[in-house]
Amino acid sequence: MATFVFNDETKKNSHGFYLLNAGGKFERFNENPVMLNNHDLAQLTGRWLNLRVEGSQLLAEPEFDDGDPEAIKLKGKVDRGYLRGASPGIVILAAEYRENPVTKDTDIYVTEWELFEGSTVSVPSNAGAITLKVYDSNRCIVNDSNVKCHVEDIIKLSISSTTNLIDKKMNEIQLTAEALVALGITKSADEAAISAAIVRLKAKVDTAETNLEKLEKKAREEHETRVTEMVNLAIKEGRITADKKDAFVKLGIADFETTKTTIEAIPVKQSLAANVKPIQGQGIPKDRENWTLLQWMKNDMPGLRQLQVDTPDLYEQIKKK
């Protein structure tokens, strides 16, 4: 059985528009899938079977009326390969302008339509299927020369209907009591008053967000200052070395309390001078007798300063080493 292509939605038909298969309504057609010859309502030649969409194409198979001599002739032409064209007769319900994804041109796309009948034809209107006939709402064929205007009128009506629907929905919007309080208006407020209230509320929100950003920035800066001071003190006390400063600052910014606890758990570095003080008149302790000035400065600078105060004579001796 031959398969006929009713429509290929990737192809622009001879009327200059694309017919989208997804927008087709086939319920009434499937109840009575009449097959005409060249859209002549007086030439019922059979019926269509297995109407379906495969990929971009709308397909069906013909079943000719064996009791009709004209139908038998057409069937013979199909069997012998002389008749291969099919044409849907449609009623357009909705259409719109869209950007063609391939050519990037603006083209007309019929997005909603009803299949009224299907005909065998000899002349296709595009490489995919096939000619096409358009019926108006009264099921009368639209003259081919008027099809484009007919479709454009439908587009205008679609745009107008959409705009009216939006306007209607906007007019039907009812604000709750909470919304009225938030906007500072009464239930009797008109559109201008509502718009002005929304603008005022938006300005307040913007101001609040700006102030919040300033507060958050100030809090971050104060937090970073507090962390830096804590780490600097830890270095001064000898709990950590200076090369660890950046790491502890980073940890402190992420988790101040845990970092503080960690630092406090590290013992303070004790000065050698605090544990071993030279005895007045007995000279420098034996374990440091050979220390040079550089060794004192490196190993115990606080102790060296203490020697300068408590035993200036010993300090002078160290300076000479």
pLDDT by residue, tens only, the chain of 321 residues: 789 999 999 998 888 899 999 999 999 999 999 999 999 989 999 999 999 999 999 999 999 999 999 999 999 999 998 888 888 999 999 999 999 999 999 999 999 999 999 999 876 544 544 568 899 888 888 888 888 888 888 888 777 655 555 555 555 567 888 888 888 888 788 888 888 889 888 888 999 999 999 999 999 999 999 999 999 999 988 889 999 999 999 999 999 999 999 999 999 876 555 554 544 445 667 778 888 888 888 888 888 888 888 888 888 888 887
User: Does any domain span residue 46?
Assistant: yes
One domain for residues 56 and 32: yes
- Looking at residue 133, its pLDDT comes to 87
- Looking at residue 26, its pLDDT comes to 96
- Show which of 160, 178, 201 is a domain's final residue: 160
User: Does any domain span residue 166?
Assistant: no
User: Does any domain span residue 184?
Assistant: no
Number of domain units in the chain:
3
User: Does any domain span residue 124?
Assistant: yes
**HEC sequence for the chain:** CCCEEEEECCCCCCCCEEECHHHEECHHHHHCCEEEECCEEEEEEEEEEEEEEECCEEEEEEEECCCCHHHHHHHHHHHCCCCCEEEEEEEEEEEEEEECCCCCCEEEEEEEEEEEEEEEECCCCCCCCCCCEEECCCCCECCHHHHHHHHHHHHHHHHHHHHHHHHHHHHHCCCCHHHHHHHCCCCCCCHHHHHHHHHHHHHHHHHHHHHHHHHHHHHHHHHHHHHHHHHHHHHHCCCCCHHHHHHHHHHHHHCHHHHHHHHHHCCCCCCHHHHCCCCCCCCCCHHHCCCCHHHHHHHCHHHHHHHHHHCHHHHHHHHCC
One domain for residues 199 and 280: no
- The Cα angle at residue 256 between residues 251 and 261, in degrees rounded to 5: 95
- Looking at residue 231, its pLDDT comes to 93
- Show which of 141, 160, 179 is a domain's final residue: 160
Half-sphere exposure of 81 (CA within 13 A, CB side): 0
Tens digit of each residue's pLDDT (9 = 90 or more) over 41-62: 899 999 999 999 999 999 999 9
Q: Which residue range is the domain that position 8 belongs to?
A: 4-160
One domain for residues 241 and 287: no
Tens digit of each residue's pLDDT (9 = 90 or more) over 278-321: 444 456 677 788 888 888 888 888 888 888 888 888 888 888 87
One domain for residues 210 and 98: no
The span from the CA of 138 to the CA of 27, in Å, is 18
- Show which of 243, 265, 287 is a domain's final residue: 265
The torsion angle over the Cα atoms of residues 66, 68, 69 and 72, rounded to 10 degrees, is -40
One domain for residues 9 and 150: yes
Contact call for residues 64 and 45 (beta carbons, < 8 A): yes
The span from the CA of 261 to the CA of 256, in Å, is 9
51: its two tokens: 């109407």
One domain for residues 235 and 278: no
Contact call for residues 24 and 114 (beta carbons, < 8 A): yes
One domain for residues 201 and 94: no
User: Does any domain span residue 168?
Assistant: no
One domain for residues 89 and 207: no
User: Does any domain span residue 296?
Assistant: yes
One domain for residues 23 and 142: yes
How would you label 183-195 residue by residue, b for 16+ Cβ within 10 Å and e otherwise? bebeeebeeeebe
One domain for residues 201 and 252: yes
User: Does any domain span residue 135?
Assistant: yes
- Looking at residue 280, its pLDDT comes to 44
User: Does any domain span residue 173?
Assistant: no
- Looking at residue 124, its pLDDT comes to 52
One domain for residues 62 and 153: yes
One domain for residues 91 and 133: yes
